[in-house]
Chains A and B, each alone.
Chain A
Amino acid sequence: SQTIHQWPATLVQPVGSPLSLECTVEGTSNPNLYWYRQAAGRGLQLLFYSVGIGQISSEVPQNLSASRPQDRQFILSSKKLLLSDSGFYLCAWGGQPNTGELFFGEGSRLTVL
C-alpha cells in the first residue's frame, strides 16, 4: 500500500535561518505531489505542486521554494525564514489519476521566532 511521510514533525527556527522540510512517498511511482500550508484561521493554501522530477509549479509568490530531486521525494526549502513562514505544512499526493483525491502526510509544524 502507498504511504506518505514528512519530517521533521516539529521545528523551531530563528528568523533568518534556512529551512528544509522533506516529504517522501512509498508504494507508488510518478505521483503528483503537493505542498500546502495551514495557518491559523486561513485554511489550506496550496504552495507548490509537481507532476514529475524537476517539475515545480508555484501557486503563490513567497519566501519558499520546492524541489523534486527524485520521483518520490518532495522538498520545501527557504534560505532565510520570516516570522510569517510559521505554520503547519502538509505534503500530499494525488492517489489515483483523475479522481481528485489527495492523500496527506502527518504534517510538519514550523515555528519561526
Chain B
Amino acid sequence: AQSVTQLGSHVSVSEGALVLLRCNYSSSVPPYLFWYVQYPNQGLQLLLKYTSAATLVKGINGFEAEFKKSETSFHLTKPSAHMSDAAEYFCAVGGNTDKLIFGTGTRLQVFP
C-alpha cells in the first residue's frame, strides 16, 4: 500500500524567501515520487519526478526536491519565491505504474 502526507495545508512566504513544502510517503515497493502544481481552476502540471535515479531532482521554474529514503521524505524547495509561484502543490507517490496516490495539497501564498 502507498500513501502520502503533506504537512501544512497552507504555507506563506515573502517574495524572495525560501520555499519549503513538505511531503512524506509510505510505500511497500520502491516509490516513484512526484510534485505537481495547480493554478486556480486549471488541471495539474508536473513540476518534477523521482524515479530511482539521482536523489536530488530538479524541476521547472527553479524548484527541486530531494529523495531521502531514511526519512521517507520528498520535500520541495525553491531558493527564492516569486509571486507567480502562488498555487497549490501536490505530492504524489506511485510504483512502476501511472496509478498515483496524491496528498491533500499545500496552498502556497507569496507576499510582496
Contact = CB atoms under 8 A, between A and B. Distances in A.
Answer yes or no: are A and B bound together in one complex: yes
Nearest to A93: B98
Nearest to B98: A94
Contacts of A95: 98
28 contacts: A32-B98, A42-B104, A43-B6, A43-B90, A43-B103, A44-B44, A44-B102, A46-B99, A46-B100, A46-B101, A88-B41, A90-B43, A94-B97, A95-B98, A99-B49, A99-B98, A100-B32, A100-B94, A100-B95, A100-B96, A100-B97, A100-B98, A101-B49, A101-B98, A102-B98, A104-B44, A105-B43, A107-B42
Interface of B: 6, 9, 32, 34, 36, 41-46, 49, 51, 90, 94-105
A49 B96 CA distance: 16
Interface of A: 32, 34, 36, 41-44, 46, 49, 88, 90, 92, 94-95, 98-107, 109
Contacts of A41: 9, 104
Given A43-B90, A44-B102, A46-B101, 11 more contacts: A41-B9, A41-B104, A43-B104, A95-B98, A100-B32, A100-B94, A100-B97, A102-B100, A104-B44, A105-B43, A106-B42
